[in-house]
Chains A and B, each alone.
Chain A
Amino acid sequence: MTDIDRGARRRFLGRVAASLGAIGVAGCDQLSQSDWFPRVLGSAEKLNERVATLVTGRKAMAQEFTPADLSPTFRSNGTSNPDNPAYQALAASGFADYRLEVAGLVARPRSFSLADLHALPSRAQITRHDCVEGWSAIGKWKGAKLSALLDAVEPTAKARYVVFRCADPMDDDGRSPYYESIDMDDAYHVQTILAYDLDDRPLPVANGAPIRLRVERQLGYKHAKYVMRVELVESFAHIGGGNGGYWEDQGYQWYAGI
């Protein structure tokens, strides 16, 4: 075979490989845009949740760290200052008028002031916060145990999820308030708290003041900031886009343990 043949063949094979690659990438994009294929891919989510729960156990504890491991400053992500006049008014008065509403499938609906929340059994923990983007930061959180708050309002037997409604609007028109939801295993977990302190100081606005959920065995977007209302529900199908959270409605997994 001559060098010219060889060169031509090499170029031809190179072009074939490049074309196949381009077709492959375009094919993946088309599948991503389809109705059915993301549903097929999504079938792995339930499997991930079941297997992770089975392997680790329902009460598995997230790793805790020492003060030496703390991140020098705890990064703010997502909303850093809610564009919401009602929230801004609360913040201006140091959240003196803040009330956390607890409602839905509970025997004794009521609201909690910050002082009420401070009076509930609390827990402090130094944990690693893992963002879905890939980064991690370590902070010390202190807050009311969610289990204690739930004991005070007595969820009914039908309650399956706890929904957190937040003060931060996620679109420019001031709509689409952030929300999240967790199941009862996570709600009653020892490390699940409504945090009011970060690194021994009152929680800054950038990190979710006055109250932020900590649900340590899941990724960062589950840790709702600026929590205004807690709702116990049987299903979240009628809330927002019906997927259990703001980011879930944008296609992110409801189960964020992985």
Chain B
Amino acid sequence: MNDTSPMPAPPPAVPARDLYRRHALPVRIMHWINVVALTVMLMSGLCIFNSHPALYWGQSSYSGRPAWLEIGATQDAQGRVSGYTRLLGHAFDTTGVLGVSTDDGQMYVQGFPSWLTVPSHQWLAMARAWHFFFAWVFLINGLGYVAWTIASRHLARDLWPTRSDLRSFGASIVDHLRFRHPAGEAAKRYNVLQKFAYLAVVFVLLPLVILMGFGLSPRLDTLFGGWVGLVGGRQSARSIHFIIAWTLVAFVAVHVFEVIVTGLWNNLRSMITGRYRVPQEAVHD
């Protein structure tokens, strides 16, 4: 070793058990409230959907145009019932899951199966009560989160993409596809795809799903001489409400998948106690 040449700085020694505080207490509380509220909203929403399991485009369901999505059941000459789902004119046999499903060994004719709905059987009045109560929980919690994330600079510091984030967009996609996860200091920051996903959910999908829910209210539709016409009408709003709900389910599926593959217990702990163990840089020869 040459004494005169500059020594590369040794990597900061991160003890194996080094825990750092990743999520602030308000974020952790609001995250879990949101988990409960969104789960109830989805499942009670599907129970509401089941009372008229068809979606249309436009103001009305009876415009002369068929539903673009319809879940139903038919009975053949032998009395066997089967469930179908018709999407854009194409019918699929979905017996067992959509249209006809079993609960406690009994066959039921219902859109979404009982294990996906709150209440578990068809009870529209109760499903609406759940939906509207948790809508307030979800709305107040969400407004609290947005206010906190701006006031604490969490949004500007941790969520807003930086220039170097944007440059690493392509590389980040490749990293995700190869399940290559950041380690060391990089693991303390959100990556660019993560930032875009969170921003899209918080500032696009969630506000839009709320707005489309408002569009289903005949009283709120009175604003601005029928603003729901801007998205095509009340039945369009109902369709968009439904599509966004499932887009959020897709987000949660990817989110939970990433939580599992990047260290289930470490991630869960960081959302409960706030503490996260930074993964070590891989040692290459």
**A residues in contact (CB < 8 Å) with B:** 21-22, 24-26, 28-29, 32, 38, 40-45, 47-48, 52-53, 55-56, 60-63, 65, 69, 71-75, 128, 130-138, 216-219, 247, 250-253, 257-258
Known: A56-B223, A133-B51, A251-B125. 7 other contacts (CB 8 A): A63-B222, A74-B62, A133-B124, A134-B216, A136-B62, A137-B60, A253-B128
Are B61 and A136 touching (Cβ within 8 A)?
Answer: yes
CB-defined contacts of B61 to chain A, threshold 8 Å: 135-137
Determine whether B48 belongs to the interface, using a CB cutoff of 8 Å to chain A: yes
CA distance A87 to B92 in the complex (A): 45
The answer to whether A65 touches B59, judged by C-beta atoms less than 8 angstroms apart, is yes
The number of residues on chain B lying at the interface, defined by a beta carbon within 8 Å of a beta carbon of chain A, is 47
Q: Tell me, yes or no, whether B101 is within 8 Å of chain A by CB.
A: no
Identify the closest chain B residue to A219 (Cβ): B218
Give 1 or 0 for each of B105-137: 1 = CB within 8 Å of chain A CB. Answer: 000000000110011100111101110110110
Report B201-219 CB contacts with A as 1/0, cut-off 8 Å.
0000000000000001111
Q: B129 to A41, Cβ gap below 8 A?
A: yes
Which one, B56, B132, B222, contacts A217 given CB within 8 A? Answer: B222
- Do the beta carbons of A257 and B115 come within 8 Å of each other? no
Are A69 and B59 closer than 8 Å at their CB atoms? yes
Binding site for A on B (CB under 8 A): 39-40, 43, 48-49, 51-52, 54, 56, 59-64, 114-115, 118-120, 123-126, 128-130, 132-133, 135-136, 216-223, 225-226, 228-229, 233-235, 238
Cα–Cα, bound, A21→B40 (Å): 12
Interface-centre pick from A22, A48, A135 (highest chain B CB count, 10 A): A135
List, in ascending order, chain B residues with CB within 8 A of A134's CB.
48-49, 51-52, 216, 238
Chain A residue contacts of B39, Cβ below 8 A = 24
B-chain residues with CB within 8 Å of residue A131 when the two chains form the complex: 52
Q: SS class of chain B's interface: helix, strand, loop or mixed?
A: helix
Interface CB pairs A-B, < 8 A, 5: A47-B136, A55-B223, A133-B51, A135-B62, A253-B129
Nearest A residue to B117 via CB reads A25
Q: CA–CA, A25 to B52, complex, Å?
A: 22
B184 to chain A: closest CB distance in Å?
24
Q: List the B residue with the shortest CB-CB distance to A131.
A: B52
Closest 8 CB pairs of A and B: A63-B226, A257-B219, A251-B125, A60-B222, A135-B61, A71-B62, A134-B52, A41-B129
B35 to chain A, nearest CB (A): 11
Give the shortest distance, in Å, between A83 (CB) and chain B (any CB): 24
Are B118 and A25 in contact, with the CB atoms below 8 A? yes
From residue B15, how far is it (CB to closest CB) to chain A in Å? 24
Give Cα A150–Cα B149 distance, bound, in whole angstroms: 53
B235 contact set on A, CB distance < 8 A? 135-136
Q: Provide the residues of chain A in CB contact with B218, threshold 8 Å.
A: 62, 128, 130, 216-219, 257-258
Q: Tell me which of B120, B126, B234 contacts A136 (CB under 8 A).
A: B234
> Are B221 and A21 closer than 8 Å at their CB atoms?
no
Q: Which residues of B contact A48 (CB under 8 A)?
A: 132
Cα–Cα distance between A74 and B64 once the two chains are bound (Å): 11
Report the nearest A residue to B137, measured CB to CB: A44
Inter-chain contacts of A257 with B (CB < 8 A):
217-220
A28 touches B120 (CB 8 A): yes
Are B118 and A38 in touch, CB under 8 angstroms? no
CB distance from A218 to the nearest CB of B (A): 6
Instruction: Report whether B119 and A32 are in contact in the complex, using a CB–CB cutoff of 8 Å.
Output: yes
Q: Bound complex: CA of A137 vs CA of B52, how far in Å?
A: 13
Closest CB of chain B to A213's CB: distance in Å? 14
Task: Please report the C-alpha to C-alpha distance between residue A60 and residue B222 in the assembled complex, in whole angstroms.
Answer: 6
Do A128 and B60 touch (CB < 8 A)? yes
CB contacts (< 8 Å) of A258 on chain B: these are 132, 216-220
Q: Is the CB of B51 within 8 A of A25?
A: no
Cα distance, A61 to B126, chains bound together (Å): 29
Do the beta carbons of A71 and B48 come within 8 Å of each other?
A: no
Tell me which of A25, A42, A72, A135 contacts B129 (CB under 8 A).
Answer: A42
For the complex, what is the distance from the CA of A61 to the CA of B221, rounded to whole Å? 9
Closest chain A CB from B222 CB (angstroms) = 4
A52 to B233, CA, bound (A): 19
Residues of A within 8 A of B56 (CB): 135
Are A252 and B125 closer than 8 Å at their CB atoms? yes
What chain B residues lie within 8 Å of A24 (beta carbons)? 39
Shortest CB-to-CB span from A95 to chain B, Å, is 26
Which chain A positions have C-beta within 8 A of B63?
A: 69, 71-72, 138
A41 near B130 with CB under 8 A, answer: yes
Q: List B contacts of A63 (CB < 8 A).
A: 221-222, 225-226, 228-229
The smallest beta-carbon distance between B53 and chain A, in angstroms, is 9
Shortest Cβ distance from residue A31 to the other chain B in the assembled complex, whole angstroms: 9
Report A-chain residues with C-beta under 8 Å of the C-beta of B43. Answer: 25, 28
**Chain A residues near B135 (CB-CB < 8 A):** 44
